[in-house]
Chain A
């Protein structure tokens, strides 16, 4: 018998909880359910699930409180699911430590992709399994070589500048996960860089001109409008 990943679904809407757990069960995950924040917290501390799917609008407390509480003692992956669609809410939840964010209504394939990505990133400390094992990350025709500090397209060096490489490297490390503009800026230029995304946009435009066939139809680095960037996942 294989041990299945355990996912806690925190959602007060019965119909949504039911379909989420059905789709997760069908795809080989084990699910636990919680309808309130306090219930969720007690299940988390007693059973240690592998991932939490968290609805922000709960009857007894705001989902962000659970997130804050949880992040004070655990790095357990959390995928936030919410009807709040403003990108400010997304950025807030992500900056508070959520691993990903899904806006209701969402598709089942989207849900599964986010769950997969979030679980994978906890397996290894560096975020990405392949990066940790071989020092490279491959998706499509692109290879990020972390040892040589190079990005190869069809085996050819894309000749990124240092800061361009660092952006790609960071996104590759967390492939499949959205990284907010602020997070990327902080990681690259330090906490005092401010939150001027202009420089990041310009860098990204240059990166895309070097690695994408058509910068307006990216295959490798996607834009999450108003939130940040996401690297495509490898096979």
Chain B
């Protein structure tokens, strides 16, 4: 444990090393330049203290701050105090310079570490809050269909003289509600796939975008045969790094939302295209569109809002979109929504095309 801590404090990384070199180089050039204007050399100490502060703030652990203060002291002594290009450790105030730099470095490092710790806590809190909201919305989402399933089946069992037609409607309701529950569970499962822990982590593999689109649409058609869906994919194969199951889930949710929340949706167009370093996916419908006031809060406050205001009327509003957003952002992508000029909503998400994982 202690060893690991030491390792973290004195961890070597090329990035930090480069920062150190760059900042020290800048400080030295600055001093060099300043000396032309003012030969006393008093500014040198200040400039190096500044450099040490910057290095400590921008690098991880104490190592680079320490190196910077030592280098700073050497540079001030060797280059910028008389006698030049010679070490003279007998100058008065020299130990003070060194001590100042050391203190600056250590204190900055400590503060930086604290800041990072706080940031982590804040993130954790946020995630916890999201989880709680999710749970609340899910329990709500599950209770309604369960009531209907239990109710319809019990009605049939307890009333043997219901007409065949009545029985059939009740059973159909029960089946539809159960199928709807399946989709809730599928959404929950995809959340567990984005394994929790520190960083949302997913396993990306290059997939053919058209295949994922095709599959999502094929399954959607089975459920909503009355809606016309067209699929548009580029002529050249577009390979996008992604977790295919999760992206299929995103598309399924967006398609379903287009029908449920579009109210009178009869046509949907799903498309994918290349947009610079991104793959852009669009789900456009000809439904009623998204109320202007809701456009902005669609991806942020969904979970809190939907339950309180609309109550039972619109279910799954929160869950589906929240799952989409977390999947897309776990991919390093972005999501947005818009209304089209001819009416209807356009849900857009973009996934990065380069495989480079940003840590």
A contact residues vs B (CB 8 Å cutoff): 85-87, 105, 198, 201-202, 204-205, 208-209, 214-218, 222-226
Contacts and interface: CB of A to CB of B under 8 A. Distances in A.
Contacts of B244: 225-226
Contact of A202 (B182, B213, B218, B237): B237
B213 A205 contact: no
Contacts of B213: 216
B212 A201 contact: no
Nearest to A224: B215
B245 A223 contact: no
B231 A201 contact: no
B233 A215 contact: yes
A22 B212 CA distance: 34
Interface string B166-206: 00000000000000001000000100010000000000001
Nearest to A104: B182
B330 interface: no
Contact of B210 (A85, A205, A225): A205
Given A201-B208, A225-B244, A216 B218 contact: no
Contacts of B288: none
Nearest to B238: A205
A205 B182 contact: no
Interface of B: 182, 189, 193, 206-208, 210-215, 217-218, 231-233, 235, 237, 239, 244-245, 248, 272
Given A204-B208, A226-B245, A214 B231 contact: yes
Contact of B237 (A86, A105, A205, A222): A205
B239 A201 contact: yes
A123 to B, nearest CB: 28
Contacts of A222: 214-215, 218
A223 B189 contact: no
13 contacts: A85-B189, A87-B245, A201-B207, A201-B208, A214-B231, A215-B210, A215-B214, A216-B231, A217-B217, A222-B214, A223-B211, A223-B215, A225-B212
Given A217-B231, A223-B211, A225-B215, 9 more contacts: A86-B193, A202-B237, A205-B208, A205-B237, A215-B210, A222-B214, A222-B215, A223-B212, A225-B248
Nearest to B272: A216
B147 to A, nearest CB: 19
A214 B213 CA distance: 12
B286 to A, nearest CB: 19
Q: Is the interface of B mostly helix, strand, loop or mixed?
A: helix
Contacts of B210: 205, 208, 215-216
Contact of A216 (B193, B206, B207, B233): B233
A87 B243 CA distance: 11
A223 B182 contact: no
8 closest Cβ pairs, A-B complex:
A216-B233, A205-B237, A216-B231, A223-B211, A216-B210, A225-B244, A217-B231, A216-B214
Nearest to B232: A216
Contacts of B217: 216-217
A225 B210 CA distance: 11
A218 B217 CA distance: 10
A105 B184 CA distance: 12
Contacts of A225: 211-212, 215, 244-245, 248
A205 B210 CA distance: 9
B248 to A, nearest CB: 5
A87 to B, nearest CB: 6
Contacts of A85: 189
Residue picked from B206, B214, B244, B272, most chain A C-beta under 10 Å? B214
A167 B149 CA distance: 45
B259 to A, nearest CB: 18
B182 A105 contact: yes
B359 to A, nearest CB: 25
Nearest to A206: B237
Contacts of A205: 208, 210, 237
